[in-house]
Amino acid sequence: MTEPIEITTTSPHETRLLGKIIGQSIDQKMTISLSGDLGAGKTVFVQGLANGLDVPSDYIITSPTYTIVNEYPGRLALFHADLYRISGGISGAAELFDIGFEEFYDTNGVIVVEWADRLAPGELKENLAVSISTVDDLTRKFILFFYGREKKILVKRLKKTFETHKR
């Protein structure tokens, strides 16, 4: 694991920008976990991520509440899951198995999972863990943990790229 990166956003627009910058830098299969309370901005972040992966803008990205996993076409396919209604811990993992979630790991796409903390630690084997906390109405604090050596370059640039583009 590399050093965690902290980034604060002060609007939904900035959160979309952060997601977009990360999405643009992705050129291979990867799994991203998102944790944070209801209204933290997980889905807003995924909207930016989709943009950065060139998902056509006519797709409206919302939390896949009833389907559990939505798939969008882009440079890489984007699989967007929301585990809000999955039970916690071991039984959560069993439920995921039941809905065929494991199949997504075999695809070459980007898997992004809201409420990933519903799963037992280590279950998702994510390459990037994003934790979002609400500071106030418009302010969100992001802590990003990248796993794996190949992500180091992205880590170095991410904060700088974000600061440069947000103005």
Per CB under 5 A, contacts with Mg ion among 103-132 are: 114
Distance of closest approach, residue 40 Cβ to ligand ADP, in angstroms: 4
Binding of ligand ADP at residue 133 (CB under 6 A)? no
Angle at 42 between CA 10 and CA 140, to 5 degrees: 25
Binding of ligand ADP at residue 60 (CB under 6 A)? no
> Which residue is associated with the tokens 């609007």?
11
Q: How many residues bind ligand ADP (CB under 6 A)?
A: 19
Closest CA to 117 of 47, 52, 40: 40
Per CB under 6 A, contacts with ligand ADP among 93-132 are: 114
With CB cut-offs between 5 and 8 Å by kind, which of ligand ADP, Mg ion, none does residue 36 bind?
A: ligand ADP
Return the exposure string of 48-67: e unless at least 16 CB atoms fall within 10 Å of the residue's CB, then b. Answer: bbbbbbebeeeeebebbeee
Beta pairing class for 139-146 and 30-35: unpaired
Site residues, ligand ADP (CB under 6 A): 9-12, 14-15, 36, 38-44, 63, 114, 138-140
